[in-house]
Amino acid sequence: MKTFVINLPHATARRERVRTILAEHPSLDVEFIEAVDGRKLSAEEIERRFDLRKGNFRAMCRMLPEEIGCTLSHQTCYRRMVAEGIPYALILEDDLTMPRTEGGGLSDAIDLLKPHLDTDEPRAILLSNCNWWISARPLDEKRRLARVFDAWMTHAYLLNLAGARLLAEERPGYTADNWRLMIRRGLHLYSLLPHIFGQDLRHVPDREARPPLRTAVGTHLVPHPARTLQAPAQAAARKDGALRGLNLSGGRRTGIGGGRPIYKRNVRKSATVFPDF
């Protein structure tokens, strides 16, 4: 299977680490994609390649240069798939952690998931645990395929050609992990249970550092409160009830306050994370 690994040119240590991980899977046709470093883009280049107005509006704050670069890097993979007619591909970021093997190896999982990608329906299958899912069906004795209604992070997922055609844009205006927006546009999003890849959060941009936007009346629009929490803090916050009373559904739609909690009886969580509205 074609495998794209997004990697900054100067991040040689991460590149070699991922190369070592994937060397154990000779069935993967690995290609390292030069990541876009958003911190080095000029304002004119950002304006030409990215719709910052839409991106800021959807994020409810000013997007970080790293987030813009991440989105453009994933767009490179989507356009390659469309241009070359690649039926499906594994897309990875170089900050992923060692794969899990409780449910079986990566190669076995890919072989099991290929039939679910061989369709004209736009589909993506997350191999990470940063998602919220509704229902799951068994694939074999150890693995299940879950239907996801929201997720965050983009460090490991499978995408078919129909999905690449849907997601590819000349001038995107959203973060690469705005999966809810992609679902609304028609992407069918799934997740493998148990997940295979984790992520080294030391390399994830601190979204709390994003400057807020200001409305016409001077009110700050704040990001979704749960989105700004890093994964290690979320478990502690949930344990001591620090998130109790926060608006977990209306923040993105109404700006501030209001909304009902996202919790429903038929909704399951596959990780201690909150969705990015």
pTM of the prediction?
0.76
CA-to-CA separations, 66 to 37, 69, 70, 72, 240, in angstroms, rounded: 7, 5, 6, 10, 32
**What is the rounded CA–CA span in Å between residue 28 and residue 4?**
10
Would you call 24 helix, strand, or coil by DSSP?
coil
Least confident of 11-15, 127-131, 145-149, 256-260: 256-260
Residues 6 or more apart whose CB falls under 8 angstroms from that of 239 comprise none
Would you call 47 helix, strand, or coil by DSSP?
helix
C-beta separation of 195 from 221 below 8 A: no
Chain segment 25-55, per-residue pLDDT in tens: 999 999 999 999 999 999 999 999 999 999 9
Chain segment 222-263, per-residue pLDDT in tens: 444 344 334 444 444 444 433 333 333 333 332 222 223 333
**What is the rounded CA–CA span in Å between residue 71 and residue 174?**
7
The pLDDT mean for the chain works out to 79
Listed by start position, the domains of the chain span 2-200, 210-269
Q: Is the pLDDT of residue 206 over 60?
A: no
Would you call 38 helix, strand, or coil by DSSP?
helix
Average pLDDT over residues 253-277: 36
Q: Measured in whole angstroms, how far is the alpha carbon of residue 260 from the centre of its chain?
A: 24
| 2-200 CATH choice from 3.90.550, 3.40.50, 3.30.60, 1.50.10 | 3.90.550
pLDDT value at residue 40: 96
Using CA of residue 201, residue 167, residue 35, residue 53, what is the dihedral sign?
A: negative
Upstream peptide bond of 87 is cis (omega within 30 degrees of 0)? no
Average pLDDT over residues 203-211: 57
pLDDT band for 200, please (50, 70, 90 cuts).
confident
CA-to-CA separations, 94 to 27, 73, 88, 193, 197, in angstroms, rounded: 19, 12, 20, 22, 11
More confident residue, 199 or 271: 199
Q: In degrees, to the nearest 5, what angle opens at C-alpha 274 toward C-alphas 224 and 164? A: 90
Token pair for 253: 């739609």
Average pLDDT over residues 147-166: 96
More confident residue, 97 or 155: 155
pLDDT value at residue 199: 86
